[in-house]
Structure 1
Amino acid sequence: MSAAGWFIVLLALVGANVPFLNQRLFAVVPLRLAESTGHRTAKKNAWLRIGELVILYFVVGALGFMLEARAGNQFDQGWQFYAITFSLFVVFAFPGFTYQYLVKRR
């Protein structure tokens, strides 16, 4: 596997965990606080995290597609390829999911 292939795998691993490791949108944009709650920090809900995960999947896929085109050998992909790569992206998100939802905090 080439260096570009390993770079995309590493980028997918990082990108899949970004929605779960912090409370900011795409790890950059802070969320607005809800006026009705007494909490000082805003928490992302699960649907927002899933939306981030899907968008980051397409961003990483576009970068992979760009690197493949730059290498000169672009291949047509069917729906099976996208189903498998999205499933792999969700599996890559497991460490972040575990940290966010399954680790008990004191």
Structure 2
Amino acid sequence: MMKYLITGLVLLYSIYLAQSLKCYEGAPGKTKENPNCTFSCQKSIDKASEVEVIMYGCSDIKHDEDECKDIEDIAKLNTIVKTECFCNTDLCNSTATISSSLSLLLVALFMKIAF
């Protein structure tokens, strides 16, 4: 009987873990992992004049596709350009860009073929 109870608890915990998404949270240099994001990971970049503010976190909305959107807001004398990026895999809102990951993948593929 105890064996079935433990197996059931492990299965329920596995389902919980499968539904949670890990995302980075905070500002650059002070990010931490949040293992309990419900919907999507988010990276926001606000640019006003020569100042850029980047924040990482969990999105309040589920985004079906990985995407980035630019939003321009004219406030008084400054134009603020906000870029919001959303993704749906663990720790996908990191500081590394997709292009650097793709480059690394291509180098690894080349090394596999060459050797």
- Larger RCO, structures 1/2 (Cα 8 Å, 6+ apart): 1
**The TM-score by the shorter chain falls in which range?**
under 0.3
TM-score if structure 1 supplies the norm length? 0.26
TM-score if structure 2 supplies the norm length? 0.24
Structure with the larger strand share: 2
The structure with the largest alpha-carbon Rg is 2
